[in-house]
Structure 1
């Protein structure tokens, strides 16, 4: 069994992560091994990891190369070189003929020893191939995943995976070898799409998939958070690209299956974020004025009329329903495949619509207990 920790200049957090992961390995899988995939840290990350693992768990360090920045490309926010880091871990696990492998972020502050059995025991004892994390979040957090990624994943891939791009994961040797045999690792947008790609590869590839309840997820943020448009472009763009690549597969899928969940809820939901819907509504109305001709190329005429009515509606009557939002998302997915316009322009045009839906969602669910039902 191998647990990979991916790092780059994480000396401030990697020691605690290694200690907690090592404790979990020692308690639940004494034959396990730690693999630190490091992208050339210059702050002593590797030494701190080695010191933390000493006399507790074997640790092997492997290198990965962070891709060169393209000054002409759209700004990327996230773990630069993440795909290469995961690939290094999977190769190390394969070389050690590991029966199971898990991958953890070195910047996590919420990881605990109990994560190890949650991510690995379903593989080792229950013969699952892919273990996706399920983190406890306030319903207003992770809204892009909840409003676009998870519903599309369920509808097209037939698997009710709630957080397809969760970050951490566990996998079997069978899935590991399948992933290593693919060419996706060299794709241009591999860093932003790697998590969705691995989850979908498992979901449509005949592999057994489950979820692991891991509690809350917190991590050290080392860069300014992206604006909504950038985040939406990266996450939704990754999903649209995956849907396009797997069209021949999902067109044959009917229905969806609920997944078993291992582990237990820890009651660690983050505090309710403060959400002001007025700026969102303003962005939606301004977006309609500026982008209505662009939207006319993407959505159906009836949908455009509904959006016009929303743009003219006073705030108390503003209701962007799920049916309308679903139609918008799939129209944009079709336009993405049809290359109706450059992908970055297309995804940018989706941002005001997303903010309109989010404002409506927050207002409709504020102070109620049916938030998850509203997303179903």
Structure 2
């Protein structure tokens, strides 16, 4: 986790001196996104011209050490009259340090609002700039997070873990706490910049949302519609893509929950009644359920000792069948697993617990798939929210065993 103070290079600082102060910085985070970077830059430019023409705005392309022509294309692409800065991110490869670099630039330029978008977005629209930046510029919020219309099997870390955990622990009903796109106020940016747990990797999204919730700053959702990005195809191979992301996101989430435990000892129960939904229907996402089952069966024994030590007997009766291909965790048993594993992590800070939890998480996803495969979007969304309430119901009962 990156607690070190980030310092911009002299080369970047010299360029910032030429630019002077700005009102809004829009950071585009890139790594090997040659096919999409020009599209994203062009849409952001049009959004700025259409909605932020009265503000002095800078686009910063923060490149995460691309090995293709991403940075070259971004540098060549002319977007005047909007100002542009293309930099290689400071620190190490990882989205967190890419965002940290943009924040340091925004800090130097005294920016009032900082927005972030991913460089592989296919569905980005000009209106996103308005939806994200205006609430911050008008002083109505400190953090804008996206609400995307996503298939029930998209957001596989969000639906079964990041959303219910955040809702239960902080009492903050942010449906997509790791949505990818954000806009933050200068006030929140300074809190984030100085935070000792600022992550360098994929944990950055949950970090931003969690710190905003824990520090009691204002958060609101932007209705950004359908989201399409190139990385959705990674769900077909969970072993190579989702599992590394899982560790980074969950370790950040758990570390922050330990860090903020003194602020969240009261029960956090938020009863949200779903309103009728009349939005677009998302594009179905294909998931390799059999691959997930196979991973659970083959990886379970690796963490057998941890499960025996941490999980109660009634859960172990279920999990011991995983190696035979019977991966089944309902919402209640899954929530118990998460809280017991977090309770142990809060005492030991043992990262192996997170590796063990990801096996249980894949088992939960298989069961979630079985539960929701015949549901429409609204039915699945209702089920996800009901599952989150189970996390709230069990939180105090289990965590008071500290």
TM-score class, shorter-chain normalisation, is 0.7 to 0.9
Q: Tell me which moved more, 226-235 or 202-211.
A: 226-235
1:284-317 CA deviation, whole Å, 9 max, x = no partner?
5566666544311011223223445x659997xx
Q: 1:335 aligns with which of 344, 354, 376?
A: 344
1:205-263 CA deviation, whole Å, 9 max, x = no partner?
1210011122233334599765154343233222222212221122246334869x9xx
Q: 1:37 aligns with which of 48, 52, 62?
A: 62
The answer as to whether partners of 2:238 and 2:292 remain within 8 angstroms in 1 is no
> C-alpha separation between the residues in 1 aligned to 2:67 and 2:322?
51
Q: 2:248 aligns with which of 207, 223, 234?
A: 234
Q: Which position in structure 1 is the counterpart of 2:226?
A: 216
SS at match of 2:202: helix
Number of matched pairs: 353
The answer as to whether partners of 1:159 and 1:258 remain within 8 angstroms in 2 is no
- TM-superposed deviation, 1:337: 2.0
SS at match of 1:21: helix
Q: Which position in structure 2 is the counterpart of 1:76?
A: none
> C-alpha separation between the residues in 2 aligned to 1:313 and 1:10?
40
Q: Where do residues 28-107 of structure 1 align in structure 2 (5 Å cutoff)?
A: 28-30=51-53, 31=55, 32-39=57-64, 44-67=69-92, 80-107=93-120
Distance 1:257 1:58, change over 3 A: farther
The answer as to whether partners of 2:114 and 2:183 remain within 8 angstroms in 1 is yes
The answer as to whether partners of 2:296 and 2:323 remain within 8 angstroms in 1 is no
- TM-superposed deviation, 1:3: 0.9
- TM-superposed deviation, 1:324: 0.9
* 2:136 is the alignment partner of 1:114: no
- TM-superposed deviation, 1:108: 1.9
Q: 2:182 aligns with which of 143, 161, 169?
A: 169
- TM-superposed deviation, 1:172: 1.1
* 2:207 is the alignment partner of 1:197: yes
> C-alpha separation between the residues in 1 aligned to 2:180 and 2:44?
16
- TM-superposed deviation, 1:22: 0.5
- TM-superposed deviation, 1:8: 3.9
SS at match of 2:154: coil
Q: Which position in structure 1 is the counterpart of 2:14?
A: none
- TM-superposed deviation, 1:105: 1.6
Q: Which position in structure 2 is the counterpart of 1:351?
A: 358
- TM-superposed deviation, 1:62: 4.0
SS at match of 1:140: coil
> C-alpha separation between the residues in 2 aligned to 1:327 and 1:99?
42
- TM-superposed deviation, 1:11: 3.8
User: Gaps spanning 5+ residues in structure 2: where?
Assistant: 1-23, 386-402
> C-alpha separation between the residues in 2 aligned to 1:94 and 1:20?
25
User: Gaps spanning 5+ residues in structure 1: where?
Assistant: 68-79
> C-alpha separation between the residues in 2 aligned to 1:242 and 1:179?
12
Q: Which position in structure 2 is the counterpart of 1:248?
A: 262
Q: Which position in structure 2 is the counterpart of 1:14?
A: 37
The answer as to whether partners of 2:142 and 2:219 remain within 8 angstroms in 1 is yes
Q: Which position in structure 1 is the counterpart of 2:334?
A: 325
Q: Tell me which moved more, 118-127 or 148-157.
A: 118-127
Q: Tell me which moved more, 145-154 or 290-299.
A: 290-299
Q: 1:297 aligns with which of 290, 295, 309?
A: 309
The answer as to whether partners of 2:28 and 2:119 remain within 8 angstroms in 1 is yes
The answer as to whether partners of 2:147 and 2:222 remain within 8 angstroms in 1 is yes
SS at match of 2:164: helix
Distance 1:143 1:95, change over 3 A: same
Q: 1:365 aligns with which of 350, 369, 372?
A: 372
Distance 1:16 1:229, change over 3 A: closer
TM-score of the superposition, structure 2-length normalised? 0.77
SS at match of 2:201: helix
SS at match of 2:101: helix
